[in-house]
Structure 1
Amino acid sequence: MSGASEIEDLLRRLAPRVLGTLVRRHGQFDACEDAVQEALLAASVQWPEQGVPNEPAGWLVTVAGRRLTDQWRSEAARRQRELTVATEPSPDEDLSRHVDDTLKLLFLCCHPELSEPSQVALTLRAVGGLTTAEIANAFLVPESTMAQRISRGKQKIKGLGFPDGPERLPAVLHVLYLIFNEGYNTTSGPDLQRVELTAEAIRLTREVHALRPDDGEVTGLLALMLLTDARRATRTTSDGALVPLAEQDRSRWDRGRIEEGVALVSHALAVSPPGPYQLQAAIAAIHDEAPSTEQTDWPQILVLYKLLDRMAPNPMVTLNRAIATAMVHGPKAGLELLGSLNGDKRIAGHYRLDAVRAHLLDLAGEHEQAREHYRRAAKRTFSLPEREYLLRKTSG
């Protein structure tokens, strides 16, 4: 007999594989999801008493398949559907295929026909196993709003089939990256971070890495998440106030995650061409391994940001490159680079542009100008911990 918590963890890992298998066979996303939920409920009741089956994924597929058949037999289109429905896996079916179905399900949830918010919501619901209420709470929207978003997403991909080809993998990684970032730097509300989202993003990225261990960017993304999340416990005080990187207690960083992340990115860079996630992970590794801000290898970070800016240019990369430039060549050089973003509509009005400018002005000794930009940044952020931190800087 296995423990209840062990069975719960196992079911959580198997759920997306089983759902992916059923959707691949039968389509009908909603019906398959309902059937899988019933199978998971049955397993949670039976397995603690009867033991976990030798092939738990096959057991869940069989039970969920029977639920589907029972449902469809009661509908008017029974005969047509029964021609295409296979109730159970054959005895010699390779159940390792269910593992590949996890990635296929991720592809489906990240279908190009869906908007980015819908991709994120559907991934968390179908692959992550979060309830609609949990997802709504994470993004600070009413549960009814999130339910509608998920429902529209399901309807939009109905009948589209699984997107094929490795070219879809970047979309999956991007959605996982967005989920992690929203958890690590929550865009609005009273909390700086939402641990349930970062944890889920890491778990799902581990799943993808298990399926694609030789993909450098999959490895790079997992390393980036681990190296970034290693600092989580020191990012806020006991009352939730933001603590900037330079002031964090590095002795409390998670050394296990840092070691794993460094090993992953080192291996990826050694065996595959560098990509944006690998470069970001390499930067995170340099920060994590430095004893202090002053002892950080800023010249190496600047080189990596220059590569990243050429490979995947975007305003946020330029912002971070400006900080590294200031640390290497002085704050005026950083401010000059920051000026290149003044006409960029993609970042116009974003609080981080004012916040970085304020920081660099402070370093340059222009304290009054810095306070003005800190005030502007505070007005533009919806995160209460960040707003309070920026307001504290105006009186510094």
Structure 2
Amino acid sequence: MFAVLLLGLVAEQAPTPEQVFEKRIGPIFKSPDPSSCVQCHLAAVDLKNYIRPSSRETFLSLRDQGLIDLDTPEKSRILALIEMGKAEKGAALIHQKNRTAEYEAFAAWVKACCADKDLRAAPKLKADELAKPPRPVAVIRHARKDQLLESFTNSVWAMRFRCMSCHTEGSAENKKLAAEYGDRVAWFKAAGPEATLKYLMESKLIDTNAPEKSLLLRKPLNDAKHEGGVKFLVGDEGYKAYRRFVEDYAKIVGDKYETAADLPPKQTARAFGTDIWLKVTNTPPAWADKLVQVKVFAWDATKKAWEAEPVASTDRKVWGQGKLFQHSLTLFAAPGSARAKAWTVKPELPNGRYLVRAYLDDGKLAKDWNTELGAADFVGEAEVTSAWPAGYGKMTVVDGAKVKQP
């Protein structure tokens, strides 16, 4: 008899879902501070987006969206979402205490809700009663930090050789400049793209209110005083990569993307920066002091034809007086391909036959930086056989007199 009474007392003392919600979930909903979502997401989502004013509405909303596992509450997707950033290191530790509190609160509340038979069987909510982020899944994913890092690696980081080694932390040139101008010139971090991106996000080099006016763009244009002189021209490959990145970043942190259609186009190739140089000597008079883009195509021995997509490219303003074009190559590979996997370790071109195609900008890039040079701008091609050694003093050389229309 005593045991029965004791069990009844324990049952009466077990907190109801409403009590757990009021004590543990309510404070999260009412807090002005962002949730631990900010560790992985720069915008578009917050844990509060999934909470309704009442325990019942919140549970039904999560249940109806497939975020609750009624039979095994501890495996509920809402808990997995909260836990997503747990394995990350470094700055992630700052968010761990917050995430742990969120997880424990939701775990206790979800368990209490799933034990309530009437709540489990309650009718579904109407679509407009569901609590969820205001942005679609595609936008939420695009605003994730790992997605931003991938974009950065494929754009700004891939173009780092255009800045030579002046801004590369630890290089001989950078050490000299850092001694004169301070560590701010060492913004390409030796630790890699993630450390570099973190530095840029915390610096004044990106203007999120007016991204086109960012120092990250104006310096290489020499629009803002730059000791290294002109490194970019409006519309060249480096400028495009940097500007597309800063504009995308500004829209992400400003939560400007509303629909999937607003997002920038998916990148169809992975880019790899290299210290492989191409030189074109004896350039035609028509190229003098104009921007020329060179695309490099590899020979496909199995098909006995040139590959359809360029394996590398570069562009630069021709030195008219010296009849000279030279610049480092950026390599391209299809995501997930054997080339992309190999070049993640060491980007290099194998010895063999290649076709060099040249495109001349006659002023249209300055009018519209986002346009591309194409068939109408094609001025000639030449075949070259090279092992493509890396290094400024080991350039692959093409005679401009041999670059002709086919």
TM-score category of the 2 structures, normalised to the smaller one: under 0.3
Q: Which has the larger radius of gyration?
A: 2
More strand by share: 2
TM normalised by structure 2 equals 0.26
